[in-house]
Amino acid sequence: MLKPLIALYFFVLAAIQFGLLIGLFHYHRSRNLVRPSPYWMGSLIANITALFVFGFGVIFVDDVSRPAFNFTIANTLFYVAAIFQWLFCKSLSQTVSSRFDLMAKSSIVVFFVVFELLRHYGNFEIRTAYMVGLALLLFGSQIYQLRLIRKVNSSPQLTYLQYATIVELSFAVCRLIVLAVGSLAIQRVEQLPQALIFFTIAQLVANTVAYIAIGSYWTEKMALSSAAFSNENEVIKKLLLERDELIASLLKANKTAATGALSASIAHELNQPITAISLNTEFLKLKMDKGVESSSEIRDVILNIEHDNQRISRIVSTLRNIFKQDQAELTPVNLNDLIQDLMPIVTPQAKDCGIQIYLNLNGSNLIAINSNEFSQAILNLINNAIQSLSNTNIQNKKIDISTSMTQHEVTLSVADNGPGVEEGVRGNLFNLMSSNKKDGMGLGLWLSKHIVDRHQGSIRYQVSQYGGAEFVISLPLKPI
């Protein structure tokens, strides 16, 4: 009855460890955050297999001094389990190099050969002493490693593992003592001392506790990793929420800025035609009050008012299109003709200020632009030049408008011989609400740049050849 009873102990322990393996495997598979160490998983699998093989071997063994080959397999698997558990503990404090890993695994082959020789030429006591001696070396080294690890890692599971290893070592020493004091050579299972059986089973129980501690340590690590992952998710969610709120705020601010800029631009651009309408209206009232009824003169004034009204309508429509987020609607336009068409609008004011406008228009190819928008940009530059010159007392005031064309781009320049722009404010010329004029709103140049940008072009300031201001617009030539 002793052999089945001993075998039952081995089977029960194997079943417990197998249940632990299945539970841990499913737990880690469901989490999939931290990969378990292959050392302790391999150690547990080897130990379970060894327990089953040894248990079956005990049932059928007749002479323990000359056991069957399956005992060599079982004890080699026990050694594999011990080596892998030792490597696992070592990996907690430092990376196990491939060379060291190979040396440790090569010792398994050495163990197998030695134990097989002992199975043939040794006896039960020598083989047991061989197993216990190796166990003492591995357990002692493992306890030392765990002691060092616990100085930097206060996990209670590592404490349990250290205590379980100390108990294993203690029972291994007790087994060695029982063999040393025994007087009879053991050949049958029935001759095994009760104390030896007890300490062997107790050592295996402590070994099972050690595996439970390792599994708990890894589960604890998984739980901490899961908690950290959850915290990171919360942080990421908060960051994403803050990002969305920021984007919404920026969109709202952008919409508000665009609306404000549109309103200011409309007020800025409508100032001239509204002023002209007001002057023409006053002139018309004055004529009517004096009884002057020259139909041709009145007709000219009305036509001027009508022209200014149409200009107002065109300005409003153009500015609304400019502030849309989509691209400008482009049509083939001759830039020189467009400039010529603008002359009747700016020439009267220029003459009133004693300014002569010179045109130097070269290149007559068609370019793809939005004529309404681009007209507004050109008018802004010309009006700026007129205003700049009107505040000076220089002789021979003039504005040069020139165009040129290359294979890749067309260039438009508006230059004057006025005072130019102070060097300190040149960097902010095209900024919204930035003006170098006392009564300026800082919209004309900003709006011109906005229009040029919508045409994928560029605008820059430079000192003209006359020492005044010169604004140069460059537009890329696109297939029409």
Residues 23 and 139 in one domain: yes
Domain assignment of residue 435, yes or no: yes
| Confidence bin at 36 (pLDDT 50/70/90) | low
pLDDT digit string (tens) for 414-429? Answer: 999 988 888 878 777 8
Q: Which residue has the higher pLDDT, 320 or 168?
A: 168
Q: Which residue has the higher pLDDT, 458 or 281?
A: 458
Residue 331 has phi, psi (to 5 degrees) of: -140, 155
In this model, does residue 290 exceed pLDDT 90?
no
Give the CATH number for residue 459.
Answer: 3.30.565.10
Count CB-CB contacts under 10 A for residue 26: 10
Q: Provide the β-strand partners of residue 469.
A: 463
Extract the tokens encoding 385: 């030049």
Range of the domain at 204: 2-239
Contact 74, 57 (CB under 8 A): yes
Rounded to whole angstroms, the Cα distance separating 243 from 248 reads 9
Residues 219 and 121 in one domain: yes
In this model, does residue 221 exceed pLDDT 60?
yes
Contact 376, 451 (CB under 8 A): yes
Extract the tokens encoding 469: 């201001």
Rounded to whole angstroms, the Cα distance separating 386 from 373 reads 20
Domain assignment of residue 25, yes or no: yes
Domain assignment of residue 320, yes or no: no
Domain assignment of residue 265, yes or no: no
Domain assignment of residue 457, yes or no: yes
Sheet-wide strand order for 397-405:
355-361, 397-405, 409-416, 469-476, 458-463
How many domains are there within the chain? 2
Residues 23 and 127 in one domain: yes
Residues 187 and 42 in one domain: yes
Count CB-CB contacts under 10 A for residue 186: 19
| Confidence bin at 262 (pLDDT 50/70/90) | very low
| Confidence bin at 291 (pLDDT 50/70/90) | low
In this model, does residue 439 exceed pLDDT 50?
no
Overall size of the chain counted in residues: 480
Q: Which residue has the higher pLDDT, 125 or 34?
A: 125
Residues 152 and 31 in one domain: yes
In this model, does residue 397 exceed pLDDT 70?
yes
Domain assignment of residue 436, yes or no: yes
Of 9-23, 137-151, 189-203, 360-374, the least confident = 360-374
186: DSSP letter: P
- Domain stops at, among 239, 259, 276: 239
Domain assignment of residue 36, yes or no: yes
**How confident is the prediction for the chain on average, in pLDDT?**
80
pLDDT at res. 256: 45
Residues 88 and 234 in one domain: yes
Of 49-58, 129-138, 211-220, the least confident = 211-220
In this model, does residue 228 exceed pLDDT 50?
yes
pLDDT at res. 213: 87
Rounded to whole angstroms, the Cα distance separating 388 from 477 reads 31
- Domain stops at, among 193, 213, 239: 239
Of 79-88, 252-261, 331-340, 362-371, the least confident = 252-261
In this model, does residue 43 exceed pLDDT 60?
yes
Contact 210, 85 (CB under 8 A): yes
Domain assignment of residue 448, yes or no: yes
| Confidence bin at 287 (pLDDT 50/70/90) | low
Residues 345 and 465 in one domain: yes
- Domain stops at, among 220, 239, 258: 239
54: DSSP letter: H
Residues 234 and 336 in one domain: no
pLDDT at res. 474: 93
Give the CATH number for residue 32.
Answer: 1.20.1070
Residues 200 and 347 in one domain: no
| Confidence bin at 238 (pLDDT 50/70/90) | confident
Segment (H or E) for 185: none
Residues 235 and 332 in one domain: no
